[in-house]
A and B are shown apart, each in its own frame.
Chain A
Amino acid sequence: MTSRRKFVQQVAALGTLSAASAIAPTLARAQAAKLRVGLMLPYTGTFAALGNAITNGFKLAIEENEGKVGGRDIEYFTVDDESEPAKATDNANRLVQRDKVDVLVGTVHSGVVMAMVKVARDSQTLLIIPNAGANAATGSQCAPNIFRTSFTNWQPAHPMGKVMYDKGHRKVVTLTWKYGAGEESIESFKEAFTKLGGSIAKEMYLPFPNVEFQPFITEIGSLKPDAVFVFFAGGGAVKFTKDYAAAGLKDKIPLYGSGFLTDGTLEAQGASAQGLLTTLHYGDGIENAKNKQFRYAYGKKYGVQADVYAVQGYDAGLLLGGGLAAVKGSFGDKKALYAALEKVKVDSPRGAWTMSRAHNPIQDIYLRRVEGNANQVIGVAWKALEDPARGCKMGA
């Protein structure tokens, strides 16, 4: 009995619902036309903090636009990619095929992003990359529907070659993990440094994500180079700066790095990182109104300080908003949409930037010095640096 009564109630409820939607057809249409955004980012594992910061930044940008892009409401579909390249293709396909997302946003890990690039190229889905720096994504694998709001691995490391040469260093040792981001960073640094006349005494690598640095530190001590350039991030960066300082090398052989060496890790690094010089497309103390407003809003909403990852996520939101506004939220004419995205001038907290022909930011790279718990910007290491986008035939 009860079940039948329940059934009758449900039918009645359904009736009222459909009647309501018949009365308000415009409402129903607006709901059907929600923009489907697929966030594929790491929410667990080593890069979980980065994935969360990017998501926060992205959502903040959308909210500042009254929760809409190009006049359309947004529906989010979220996948935790776990920074696991083996699962990357399946995860991306799930968003594209099952959830039918209009735009794919992700991710942090370079190996995972290359799988996303492949899926985006095959399915012609719009992809916005808010972190992963793999050169190929806007290089040999560049495509009209792939955009990046962060950096290429080539970008932050390149200016350091000039900075270190100008400081009078001529013979340098490099050290990094033997994986994509590390090797591409070292390659880019070396290109700039040797072009000016500097020489690399030794290139050293260790397997990712091994953190047993002691043998290399001993070797650096006996090679006695003018300076050391490294690429490390996260836990490895903390351990390296601490080991380097504990071995007594910090004051004898100056250490430099790509900005990730000291980003989001300063509290853990403590004294071992004080005074280090690094280069990156963001930093503390960038004096522009946008940055102040962004940092205030972000801090108020999430209760934590914004970092470079939050900025990149925020810029992904700004890019999508700007591009879709120009085509009134329509995905009908893909060509017009991509052209609009290319023309967006992103008013970023890092300073306004524009897209290169390969769809990667043309941006200033800052020189920063660690002071207390801040990566204080002390100058621009390279103005409006554009990635060479080697192998990209688009727009050439």
Chain B
Amino acid sequence: MEWLIQILNSVQYGLLLFLVASGLTLIFGIMGVINLAHGSFYMIGAYLAFSLTQWTGNLWTALPLGIILAAVLGLVLERLLIERLYHRDHLHQVLLTFGLILVFEELRSIIVGDDVHSVVIPAILGGSLPLTENLSYPVYRLFISAVCLALAAAMYLTIQKTRLGMMIRAGASNPEMAQSLGINIRWIHALVFAAGVALAAFAGMIAAPVSSVFPGMGNQVLIVCFVVVVIGGIGSLKGALVASLLIGFADTFGKVLVPELAGVAVYLLMAIVLLFRPAGLFGRG
């Protein structure tokens, strides 16, 4: 029974990782922008969940409000800053987005302060399911997993099956050609960036009740997100999903079976994958 619960832990952690990392891999794959500030968007989401639930009284109204705010933030950033980076090399992108991390951390400190906060789990999902005589599983964690799965499916359908998705894919593989065929690439890019920011922020919001809300939380997430993108293959959503689940298993079972190596289990996995598939599991090239 313990092993079954550990598998559940792995899947649940992996799915949440996917939700955060999917925005990063989208932005990376479609616009070729290395966005170091992705962790900050996760952090902003968590703080939005905290502030908006305090203001509106519950998470359900905070979620849509937060998603809209995050998407608007993404749009503004893309128009003002990120757009200038598409034709520059990665060093400029890294510099600008690293600068954004510092700006967002400082703003957070000024606006909300440096204390640890928490977000209350909505009453309807507050319970726990008893699994063994002394272990139970919080319903809210299962809810997170379900939401992540639903979003993964929605993203897959949007990109593979809709006209918008077709334009996005066209823009990713050959922006000039797509542009000359009448697709507004600037608009597509702004949309994808806003969606990436909104995804990261949504992950932060939905995770806030279990992760709590604290300074520097974005940086912890950022590194493992890059590992997801690298293992899965840059720009591949399918790759990100598989990589996230693999990392969930490596991390969980690493901690249980070889605690001495728990810190490196995830990176070991990355090294092994890169050894055999230098472009990641589903990467092109």
Q: Which residues from chain A sit less than 8 Å from chain B, CB to CB? A: 44-46, 48-49, 52, 178, 204-207, 209-212, 214-219, 221-222, 224, 234-235, 237-239, 242-243, 246-249, 252-253, 264-265, 267-270
Contact = CB atoms under 8 A, between A and B. Distances in A.
B115 A242 contact: no
Contact of A248 (B120, B128, B256, B263): B128
Nearest to B113: A49
Contact of B128 (A44, A48, A247, A268): A247
A216 B6 CA distance: 9
A248 B136 CA distance: 6
B280 to A, nearest CB: 23
Given A212-B13, A218-B9, A235 B212 contact: yes
B5 to A, nearest CB: 5
A222 B212 CA distance: 26
B135 A48 contact: no
15 contacts: A45-B216, A46-B214, A48-B215, A49-B113, A49-B115, A205-B262, A206-B255, A212-B251, A219-B2, A221-B2, A235-B214, A235-B215, A237-B116, A247-B135, A268-B118
A324 B109 CA distance: 36
Contacts of B6: 215, 218
Interface in B96-111: 105-106, 109
Contacts, number: 120
B128 A246 contact: yes
Contacts of A216: 255
B12 interface: yes
B285 interface: no
B106 A44 contact: yes
B255 A215 contact: yes
Contacts of A48: 109, 114, 215
A218 B5 contact: yes
B9 A44 contact: no
Nearest to B132: A221
Contacts of B13: 212, 214
B270 to A, nearest CB: 15
A269 B109 CA distance: 20
Nearest to B261: A207
Contacts of A46: 214-216
B220 interface: yes
B173 interface: no
Contacts of B138: 246-247
Nearest to B135: A221
A239 B220 contact: no
Contacts of B255: 206, 212, 215-216
Contacts of B35: none
Interface of B: 1-2, 5-6, 9, 12-13, 105-106, 109, 113-118, 120, 128, 130, 132, 134-138, 140-141, 210-217, 220, 251-253, 255-256, 259, 262-263
Given A212-B13, A218-B6, A268 B116 contact: yes
B114 A222 contact: no
Contact of B134 (A219, A221, A234): A221
Contacts of A215: 6, 9, 251-253, 255-256
Given A215-B256, A234-B116, A242-B118, 9 more contacts: A45-B105, A210-B220, A214-B12, A214-B13, A238-B116, A239-B212, A243-B210, A247-B136, A267-B118
Contacts of B256: 215, 219
B184 to A, nearest CB: 41
A207 B256 CA distance: 13
A206 B117 CA distance: 23
- Which of A178, A239, A243: most chain B Cβ within 10 A? A239
A217 B263 CA distance: 18
- Residue from B109, B134, B220 whose CB has the most chain A CB atoms within 10 Å: B134
Max chain B Cβ within 10 angstroms of own Cβ: one of A178, A214, A242:
A214
A223 to B, nearest CB: 9
A212 B265 CA distance: 14
Given A207-B262, A218-B9, A235-B116, A248 B220 contact: no
B214 A218 contact: no
Nearest to B9: A214
A206 B220 CA distance: 14
A238 B212 contact: yes
Nearest to B138: A246
A395 B197 CA distance: 59
